[in-house]
Structure 1
Amino acid sequence: MCKIFEEFGAKVIYADEVAKRIMEEDEKLKRKIKKLFGDEAYIGGKLNRKFISDVIFSDEKKRKVLESIVHPEVIKKIITEFKKISKNENQSFVIVEAALIFESGFDKELDYVVVVDADEELKIKRIMERDNCTREEVLKRMKAQMSQSKKRSLADIVIQNDGDIEALRERVKFLYSLFQKISKPIGEN
């Protein structure tokens, strides 16, 4: 969905990319992660994503500790990016793509939260194809997140994405137009 927003001209910040970047660049954060997971957490200075993923989706305590370390830093970095965009770019709104918006508390920083949902089996299939992973890995990830019904109840807008890409493009086009109409330029109160 966010790639389609970009096609229409929206600025999108991908929280997962921000998290990966700061987990590799922020030395203080790297030390905390190594303390939690050991030296195996990094290979040649790069985050060992497979190792971290395997641990956090089988050890809830470590997952929660990692989230408590990383989420506040990601939120700070995204807010900094908001400010940079407001000074340097002509954007009336910014989209943030994040799987853990509610779990991290970041929803409190946003004007609107859009939840994209689909039939569970379709979601599992799409994630397996996108991430080249097993059904079991997808189910572990889903179990570690807030339930989709809870996310739907907290969302300002819910998009059902059981159709093809053109159906999704039409929904995004509508939202893009709506957000342009209701948004003040970034930085205005």
Structure 2
Amino acid sequence: MEENISDGDLVLEFQSGNKKALNQLVKQWHKTFCEKAYWLVKDADVAKDIAQDSWSVIIKKIDTLKKAENFGSWALRIVYNNSMDWINKNKRAQKHIEQIKYEQETVDVEHDWDANTEIKLRLLQVFKRLPQHQQVVIKLFYTEGYSLKEISNTLNISVGTTKSRLFHGREKLKQLLKQYNYEK
């Protein structure tokens, strides 16, 4: 098969039953798909998987492509959508892991009935009144011993945002504890 055949012609040939046309499309586009996916997900192995999965979708749906000359933009949209699906799934999984850790820590604190139980419960009640994003940063910093940089990488936020959330979370805790002690 010639190297200078247009994407549109290759698509039309494949739609007509020429399976070799697909091989040429893969040669011309696979690297671009990997690069596009990597640009979005920042993980080379995941990007390769996304590109491969995108080819599966492309092969299944190529017969629905009405304008064969639009193959490049159509296929890149599939790669983009698959990349965004992976990013969103990964974020949901990360939030789920954080929630499980949070619930486990809460159970551990609530069932540790030593001399400091009342203080722990009071602190836990006040802590639960913080915004979720501040709770997560404070937990990772103080309970898990993460550095500011590790927290920023884990939560996919800047170090400055991490510092800000930690600072404002501590300040809010101080205010809430004063208020809680005043109410008692």
TM-score, with structure 2 as normaliser: 0.26
Give the helix-richer structure, 1 or 2: 2
Higher relative contact order, chain-length normalized (CA < 8 Å, sep 6+): 1
